[in-house]
């Protein structure tokens, strides 16, 4: 298992600004993922962030809006750029190890409100 810490846990931001969310894991992990949970909706994968390679974005998400860093095997950041009220969501970091019969683990999420 993994203990995942996200910072900040919540924030209220002005539109047009950017927020960087940090995800710290207590052990080295192969794969890290960033999800978004908009109000009343399900979790949607934004991108996969593997160390040593560029992040891979899902349809509807672009690097200019959600730049991601993965400098090592225990840390990643997601930036929400040029925010608008539509970006108000919970953003979750998730980690997994490659191998058979393993599941992903999730951080507690960052609740972002854009005003």
Partner 1 sequence: AQSVSQHNHHVILSEAASLELGCNYSYGGTVNLFWYVQYPGQHLQLLLKYFSGDPLVKGIKGFEAEFIKSKFSFNLRKPSVQWSDTAEYFCAVSSGTYKYIFGTGTRLKVLA
Contact 48, 95 (CB under 8 A): no
Nearer to partner 1, 40 or 85 (CB): 40
What is the C-alpha separation between 75 and 98, in angstroms, rounded?
17
Q: Which residue has the tokens 């750029």?
A: 81
**Residue 40 Cβ vs partner 1, minimum distance, rounded to whole Å:** 8
**Residue 50 Cβ vs partner 1, minimum distance, rounded to whole Å:** 10
Nearer to partner 1, 73 or 104 (CB): 104
What is the C-alpha separation between 33 and 11, in angstroms, rounded?
21
**Residue 75 Cβ vs partner 1, minimum distance, rounded to whole Å:** 18
Q: Which residue has the tokens 């929400």?
A: 80
Nearer to partner 1, 14 or 59 (CB): 59
């Amino acid at each position: 298992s993994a203990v995942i810490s996200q910072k900040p846990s919540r924030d209220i931001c002005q539109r047009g600004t950017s927020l960087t969310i940090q995800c710290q894991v207590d052990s080295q992990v192969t794969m890290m993922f960033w999800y978004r949970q908009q109000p009343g909706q399900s979790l949607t994968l934004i991108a996969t962030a593997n160390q040593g390679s560029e992040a891979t974005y899902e349809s509807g998400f672009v690097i200019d809006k959600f730049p991601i860093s993965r400098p090592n095997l225990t840390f990643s950041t997601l930036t929400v750029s040029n925010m608008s009220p539509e970006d108000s969501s919970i953003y979750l970091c998730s980690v997994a190890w490659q191998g058979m019969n393993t599941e992903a683990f999730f951080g507690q999420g960052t609740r972002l409100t854009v005003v």
